């Protein structure tokens, strides 16, 4: 019986192809919009989540905060030093590892090819703290650090840009005015929010100090690894306290440093994406409402057109409920077919959209979004199909048979 | 007794005016009978037909069809009686235009909740019976008027109802085709089907074995023609 009704519904849709398509348009647009946005947002979310997972939620970065507009910082020399990091490790609870990072933009050169990149001077715990490891070759030894050896680890992007030839390990690379021996290649990380994560040269922090001078390493980035995700908030507070004390920052004035948690970044992007999703959700519900009214309108027309048919069906034994179910099935079928077309359009739109925006990750359509779209389409069909179907079901068979 | 009607009244109110469409009709029809209902327009024959066909319920009076007291039934019970006891043939055929002959004939069986395979077989048998075994996949607009009415007859027969109810079945057909359709009815009656025929044409009514005439909602004559005798 349900199958029969479904067949009747498809027949009716096919009999009026153009009309059915126009009727479905509201649903198609609504569903396509939601799927397109969800697929792009989810693609973004998916990539961000996996990348943060890779970094680890226990990763804490502390940056010196320089802001010329801020009166609290005016006239102060903002520093963040290796000693600050050691003091934090000594006094703050909940931290496991510490890694000082010197950072500076530099020109790299190999043969006649040049490439501007980020030079990072790092300590011995860099791999563990940032969860980023050497893939080929080796990490800096203790001896490298002690002797401020001219050795470097490079990211994939640098190899690509400078078109370095095999064997890369052991070959020389000019960074700024100094020559380094490449001893390792770091694992590939890919892009994150349009930013390449593989464009860097790592050298020992002692080497950086040697080259750029003691003053240059007074503004470091201090990286910490919390002992567990639970202690991260405590660790953040304690880092703040220790640094404020060491930097003699008075009560009520702003910090001259900034503590950045991966978790916060994740939450913040999640919140933005959530807002986007709910705004689109609001727009979509209006589209679905309009689409539903369109379906109701066309179903009322259909019921009037098929009054005779309804009369015949009743004469040969159809009950009110049979007619009701038949027309409800038709309304739901229209909205489900519309939903299906909408999902396909939205999916395509998401893929094209994600490709069109540079640096965006590929679209990702989760199963729940498809289920949700179908569910909403079905609900719209039932909701707006009920009135016309009830009208059809309550027709008097004698009047219906006589209808011209 | 297949049909037993006593003191049947159907009264419509149109504002202040009371219209007595049927005003105390008594009628008994035996199984296997071939009855024609005649009368001028406004005589109440359509109303009687609707009541016999369980499309409507009387204001007062009793109607017993094949043991079912129809008068007090509700909507879905009436639908069930129409489905199992009555086969309709209409003047305008009333076939579903987008469905094939086969699907049209299957329709009553769909509402009888019969499994698809059995439904199909029964519908094919009914179409064979009316001589359209080679037209089952045709849609109504690919069939002639006579063929359409044959499909309608097959649809009426398919549920093996206790009565065939035909409302001006030849009203939209030419005289030659009319004769063919009436021949089909004669055959069906001869093989045991009870037929109630509503018409205003004497030569159509002549096919029946018994004729009742209505005027102003009452039966004014009830005549039986002897089965072997000439038409009177």
CB contact under 8 A, A317 and B90: no
Confidence of residue A274 (pLDDT cuts 50, 70, 90): confident
**Residues A249, A163 share a domain:** yes
Q: In terms of DSSP bridges, do strands B34-38 and B210-215 run parallel, antiparallel, or are they unpaired?
A: parallel
CB contact under 8 A, A320 and B76: yes
The mean predicted confidence, pLDDT, of chain A is 86
Across the interface, of B79, B84, B88, the residue whose CB is closest to A319 is B79
CB contact under 8 A, B55 and A308: no
Overall average pLDDT of the A358-374 stretch: 81
Across the interface, of A11, A311, A322, the residue whose CB is closest to B111 is A322
**Residues A312, A230 share a domain:** no
Across the interface, of B55, B84, B99, the residue whose CB is closest to A315 is B55
Right CATH number for B3-224 from 3.40.50.300, 3.40.50.150, 3.40.50.11720, 3.30.360.10?
A: 3.40.50.300
Confidence of residue A238 (pLDDT cuts 50, 70, 90): confident
**Residues A244, A283 share a domain:** no
Across the interface, of B80, B82, B98, the residue whose CB is closest to A11 is B98
Q: Which of A204, A226, A255 is the last residue of a domain?
A: A255
Overall average pLDDT of the A110-127 stretch: 90
* Chain A: residue whose CA lies nearest to B97: A309
* Chain A: residue whose CA lies nearest to B57: A398
The mean predicted confidence, pLDDT, of chain B is 91
Across the interface, of B84, B96, B113, the residue whose CB is closest to A1 is B113
pLDDT at A55: 60
**Residues A271, A251 share a domain:** no
Overall average pLDDT of the B14-18 stretch: 87
Residue A163: count other Cβ atoms within 10 Å of its Cβ. 10
**Residues A162, A126 share a domain:** yes
pLDDT at B230: 46
H/E stretch holding A210 reads: helix A205-212
Of the two residues A75 and B96, the one the predictor is more confident about is B96
CB contact under 8 A, A316 and B56: no
pLDDT at B231: 46
Distance CA B62, CA B66 (A): 13
Confidence of residue A163 (pLDDT cuts 50, 70, 90): confident
Confidence of residue B13 (pLDDT cuts 50, 70, 90): confident
**Residues A225, A134 share a domain:** yes
CB contact under 8 A, A312 and B107: yes
pLDDT at A65: 83
pLDDT at A72: 66
Examine the predicted complex and report whether its ipTM is higher than 0.85: yes
* Chain B: residue whose CA lies nearest to A398: B55
CB contact under 8 A, B56 and A317: no
Identify the DSSP state of A80.
Answer: B
Reduced to 3 states (helix: H, G, I; strand: E, B; else coil), residue B9 is strand
| DSSP string covering A142-199 | HHHHHHT--EEEE-HHHHHHHTPPSP-TT-EEEETTEEEEEEEEEPP--EETTEESS-
Inform me whether the pLDDT recorded for B229 exceeds 70.
Answer: no
Token pair in block for residue A185: 């290649």
Q: Which of B90, B111, B115, B176 is nearest to A402 (CA)?
A: B90
A398 contact residues in B (CB cutoff 8 A): 50, 55-56
Inform me whether the pLDDT recorded for A50 exceeds 60.
Answer: yes
The pLDDT > 70 percentage for chain A reads 94
The pLDDT > 90 percentage for chain A reads 29
User: What are the residue ranges spanned by the domains of chain B?
Assistant: 3-224
Q: What is the pLDDT of residues B49-95, one digit of tens each?
A: 999 999 998 999 999 999 999 988 899 999 999 999 999 999 999 99
Query: Is the residue at A59 inside a domain?
Result: no
**Residues A212, A320 share a domain:** no
For A342, the domain range is 2-52+267-402
Confidence of residue A254 (pLDDT cuts 50, 70, 90): confident
Q: Which of A255, A278, A310 is the last residue of a domain?
A: A255
Across the interface, of A309, A321, A398, the residue whose CB is closest to B56 is A398
> Maximum distance among all alpha carbons in chain B?
55
> Maximum distance among all alpha carbons in chain A?
104
- Cα B14 to its chain centre, rounded Å, is 28
Confidence of residue A6 (pLDDT cuts 50, 70, 90): confident
Q: What residues of chain A have any CB closer than 8 angstroms to a CB in chain B? A: 1, 4, 11-12, 15, 308-309, 311-322, 397-398, 401
Q: What residues of chain B have any CB closer than 8 angstroms to a CB in chain A? A: 50, 53, 55-56, 75-76, 79-80, 82-84, 88, 90, 94-96, 98-99, 107-108, 110-113, 155, 159
- Shortest distance between the Cα of A192 and any Cα of chain B, in A, equals 57
Burial class (CB in 10 A: 0-12, 13-18, 19+), A204: buried
Please give the tally of structural domains in chain A: 2
**Residues A306, A231 share a domain:** no
**Residues A282, A174 share a domain:** no
The residues near A218 (Cβ < 8 Å, ≥ 6 apart) are: A79, A80, A81
Inform me whether the pLDDT recorded for B232 exceeds 60.
Answer: no
pLDDT at A342: 92
Confidence of residue A256 (pLDDT cuts 50, 70, 90): confident
Q: What is the pLDDT of residues A287-342, one digit of tens each?
A: 888 889 999 999 999 999 999 999 999 999 999 999 999 999 999 999 999 999 99
**Residues A367, A245 share a domain:** no
Query: Is the residue at A261 inside a domain?
Result: no
Overall average pLDDT of the A124-145 stretch: 89
pTM comes to: 0.70
Q: Which of A255, A279, A304 is the last residue of a domain?
A: A255
- Shortest distance between the Cα of B66 and any Cα of chain A, in A, equals 17
pLDDT at A260: 83
- Shortest distance between the Cα of B80 and any Cα of chain A, in A, equals 6
A317 contact residues in B (CB cutoff 8 A): 79-80, 82-84, 108, 111-112, 159
Inform me whether the pLDDT recorded for B143 exceeds 90.
Answer: yes
Overall average pLDDT of the A101-113 stretch: 89
**Residues A150, A285 share a domain:** no
pLDDT at A56: 66
Overall average pLDDT of the A48-60 stretch: 69
- Tokens 């999916």 found at: A347
Distance CA B177, CA A161 (A): 90
**Residues A204, A91 share a domain:** yes
CB contact under 8 A, B75 and A311: no
Overall average pLDDT of the A37-53 stretch: 74
Query: Is the residue at A58 inside a domain?
Result: no
Token pair in block for residue A106: 């530099």
Least reliable range by pLDDT among A161-170, A172-181, B203-212: A161-170
Across the interface, of A11, A317, A401, the residue whose CB is closest to B79 is A317
pLDDT at A193: 59
């Amino acid at each position: 019986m349900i199958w029969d009704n479904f067949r009747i519904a498809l027949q009716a849709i096919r009999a009026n192809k153009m009309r059915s398509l126009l009727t479905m348009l509201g649903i198609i647009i609504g569903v396509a919009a939601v799927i397109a946005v969800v697929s792009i947002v989810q693609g973004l979310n998916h990539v961000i989540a996996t990348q943060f997972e890779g970094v680890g939620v226990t990763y804490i970065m502390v940056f010196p905060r320089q802001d010329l507009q801020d009166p609290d910082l005016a006239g102060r020399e903002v520093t963040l030093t290796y000693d600050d990091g050691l003091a934090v490790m000594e006094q703050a609870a909940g931290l496991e590892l510490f890694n000082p990072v010197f950072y500076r933009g530099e020109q790299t050169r190999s043969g006649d090819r040049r490439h501007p990149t980020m030079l990072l001077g790092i300590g011995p715990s860099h791999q563990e703290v940032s969860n980023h490891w050497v893939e080929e070759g080796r990490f800096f030894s203790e001896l490298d650090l002690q002797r401020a050896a001219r050795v470097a680890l490079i990211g994939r992007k640098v190899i690509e840009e400078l078109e370095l030839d095999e064997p890369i390990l052991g070959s020389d690379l000019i960074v700024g005015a100094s020559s380094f021996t490449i001893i390792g290649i770091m694992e590939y990380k890919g892009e994150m929010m349009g930013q390449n994560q593989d464009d860097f040269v790592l050298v020992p922090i002692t080497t950086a100090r040697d080259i750029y001078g003691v003053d240059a390493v007074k503004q470091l980035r201090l990286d910490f690894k919390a002992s567990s995700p639970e202690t991260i908030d405590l660790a953040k507070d304690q880092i703040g306290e220790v640094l404020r004390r060491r930097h003699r920052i008075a009560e009520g004035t702003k910090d001259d440093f900034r503590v950045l948690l991966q978790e916060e970044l994740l939450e913040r992007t999640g919140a933005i994406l959530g807002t986007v999703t709910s705004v689109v959700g609001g727009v979509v519900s209006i589209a679905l409402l309009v689409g539903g009214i369109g379906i109701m309108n066309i179903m009322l027309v259909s019921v009037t057109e098929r009054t005779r048919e309804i009369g015949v069906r009743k004469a040969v034994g159809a009950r009110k409920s049979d007619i009701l179910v038949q027309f409800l099935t038709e309304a739901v079928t229209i909205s489900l077919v519309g939903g299906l077309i909408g999902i396909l359009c939205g999916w395509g739109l998401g893929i094209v959209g994600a490709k069109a925006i540079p640096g965006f990750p590929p679209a990702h359509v989760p199963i729940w979004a498809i289920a949700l779209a179908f569910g909403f389409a079905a609900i719209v069909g039932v909701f707006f199909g009920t009135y016309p179907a009830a009208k059809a079901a309550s027709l008097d068979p004698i009047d219906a048979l006589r209808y011209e | 007794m297949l049909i037993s009607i006593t003191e049947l009244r159907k009264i419509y109110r149109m504002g202040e005016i009371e219209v007595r469409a049927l005003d105390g009709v008594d009628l008994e029809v035996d199984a296997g009978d071939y009855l024609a209902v005649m009368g001028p327009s406004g005589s109440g024959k359509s109303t009687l037909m609707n009541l016999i066909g369980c499309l409507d319920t009387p204001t007062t009076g009793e109607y017993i069809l094949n043991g079912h007291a129809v008068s007090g039934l509700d909507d879905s019970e009436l639908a069930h009686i129409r489905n199992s006891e009555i086969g309709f043939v209409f003047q305008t055929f009333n076939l579903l235009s987008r469905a094939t002959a086969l699907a049209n004939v299957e329709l009553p069986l769909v509402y009888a909740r019969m499994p698809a395979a059995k439904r199909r077989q029964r519908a094919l048998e009914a179409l064979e019976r009316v001589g359209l075994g080679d037209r089952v996949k045709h849609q109504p607009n690919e069939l002639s008027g006579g063929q359409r009415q044959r499909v309608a007859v097959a649809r009426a027969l398919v549920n093996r109802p206790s009565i065939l109810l035909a409302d001006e079945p030849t009203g939209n057909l030419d005289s030659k085709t009319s004769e063919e359709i009436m021949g089909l009815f004669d055959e069906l009656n001869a093989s045991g089907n009870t037929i109630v025929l509503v018409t205003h044409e004497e030569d159509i009514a002549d096919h029946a074995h018994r004729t009742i005439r209505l005027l102003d909602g009452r039966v004014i004559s009830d005549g039986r023609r002897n089965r072997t005798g000439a038409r009177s």
